[in-house]
Amino acid sequence: MPALKAGDAFPEGVSFLYVVPTPENSDVLACGIPTKYDASKEFQDKKVVLVSVPGAFTPTCTAQHLPGYIAKLSELKAKGVDQVLFISYNDPFVQSAWGKANGIKDDSILFLTDDGASFSKSIGDWTIGDRTARYALVIDHGKVVYAEKEPGKELTVSSADAVLSKL
């Protein structure tokens, strides 16, 4: 499949795994039960920002990428974004713990697993080896309106500021 680009419909049949945030599993050591997130269905009725990172708890992802989205969440919401989702190749338990370790204990930002980087591979092989690459997508009611993969190690097209400038 060619790379996903602005103007494309979000692909059918895309789902991720995640641990639904609940008061019972709000502690970083609580595991929860992985649940399917049917992205193709969910994205039909929402405006979402989907951010992919190479891995939870990695230096750039934890120190720069995620904090920008946490800090700018109200600005994203003011631009009509219903949901921000972070994906990586990590399993749902690691993704959940990463969110909780960064103070996210509700569904303000969801942390999903791109199992085997299968989604990232399917949209034009947006991977780094076996890991998901660093990229951002904006999907508005099922239509991709922004799709950019980082060309290098810097946060130039997938940061919260870069995405906000395109909304």
- Catalytic residues, which ones? 61
Q: Following CA atoms 32, 48, 127, 65 in sequence, which dihedral angle do they give, to the nearest 10 degrees? A: -80
34 close to 92: Cβ distance less than 8 angstroms: yes
- The CA-CA-CA angle for residues 52, 56, 57, to 5°, reads 140
Max intra-chain CA distance, the chain = 42
Residue whose structure tokens are 């708890």:
57
Residue whose structure tokens are 């049917």:
38
